């Protein structure tokens, strides 16, 4: 079984290659994730997820075809480490 942190590092890289415009932005203790793509019933962003460097799950947002694929998450107070975001699509995963 693959270590979850290694999986997230690998998949976060894949996600950034496929959805380069989805780069998260930090605002103080908040992270905003925006996937810039059109949403349709046939092809849409299903979910964003944020996980801290050591595998701690922070949150996730699920979307429907009529939603804007934008989400925000609060980081733990004083957190200074790395974090990983994912953006899943209904047809291609990342």
Alpha carbons 94 and 90: distance in angstroms, whole number: 9
Query: Domain for residue 58, yes or no?
Result: yes
Q: What is the pLDDT of residue 25?
A: 57
Read off the pLDDT of residues 9-22 as tens digits, 9 standing for 90 and up. Answer: 444 434 433 333 44
Q: What does 22-71 look like in DSSP terms, one character per residue?
A: G--EEETTEEEEE--S---SSS-EEEEEEEETTS-EEEEEE--TTS--EE
Residue ranges for the chain with pLDDT beneath 50: 1-2, 7-22
Is 24 within a domain?
Answer: yes
pLDDT in the model for residue 29: 87
Range of the domain at 75: 4-89
Domains identified in the chain, total number: 1
Per residue in 56-65, pLDDT (tens digit) is 999 999 999 9
pTM of model > 0.85: no
pLDDT at 86: 93
Whose tokens are 């998949």? That residue is 11
């Amino acid at each position: 079984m693959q270590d979850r942190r290694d999986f997230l590092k690998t998949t976060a890289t894949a996600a950034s290659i496929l959805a380069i415009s989805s780069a998260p932005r930090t605002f103080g203790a908040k992270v905003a994730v925006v996937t810039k793509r059109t949403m349709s019933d046939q092809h849409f962003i299903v979910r964003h997820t944020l996980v801290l460097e050591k595998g701690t799950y922070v949150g996730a947002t699920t979307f429907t075809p009529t939603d804007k694929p934008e989400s925000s998450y609060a980081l733990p107070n004083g957190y200074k480490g790395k974090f990983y975001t994912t953006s899943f699509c209904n047809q291609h995963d990342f």
